[in-house]
Amino acid sequence: MMDWKPWILLGVGLGVVYLIKRSSLVAVDRARALYAAGAQVIDVRSVGEFESGHLPMASNIPLDELERILPERIPDRNRVLLLHCLSGTRSGLARMQLRRMGYTQVHNLGSLSRAREILTP
């Protein structure tokens, strides 16, 4: 007889991750307004991913380099930042990390495709 408990726990866990990821996304209209007002777009994917295709307005600062690079490039911790990655997971993690570092205006665009849809005409 099959034990369904691990599958149920896995499903619940994945559901929680999905809800957290979705709830951290900035609204489309708000993201467009922030970008129009001069927000900095940051792609937190790896250098190789970035080089394989990226938004022209995005700067690349990989997630594992944020703590080292971002304070040098963007010392103003009140600067509005719009983050994205491939799926939205790393940008969600980056948002939390940057808030812990004292950045106050950090927003998660989510995936590259969602960011492209929001920021390009």
Asked whether residue 1 is assigned to any structural domain, the reply reads no
pLDDT at 4: 79
Q: How many domains does the chain have?
A: 1
CA distance 57 to 42: 9
* CA separation for the pair 33, 38 (Å, rounded): 9
Instruction: Identify the domain containing residue 66 by its residue range.
Output: 26-119
Query: pTM of the prediction?
Result: 0.82
**Does 9 map to a domain?**
no
CATH number at residue 37: 3.40.250.10
Residue 20 lies inside a defined structural domain of this protein: no
Tens place of pLDDT for every residue, the chain, 121 residues?
668 788 777 777 666 666 555 557 999 999 999 999 999 999 999 999 999 999 999 999 999 999 999 999 999 999 999 999 999 989 999 999 999 999 999 999 999 999 999 999 8
Q: Is residue 14 part of a domain?
A: no
Q: In the prediction, which pLDDT does 19 show?
A: 55
Helices H, strands E: what count in the chain? 6, 4
Within-domain flag for 21: no
**What phi and psi values does residue 65 have, to the nearest 5 degrees?**
-110, -5
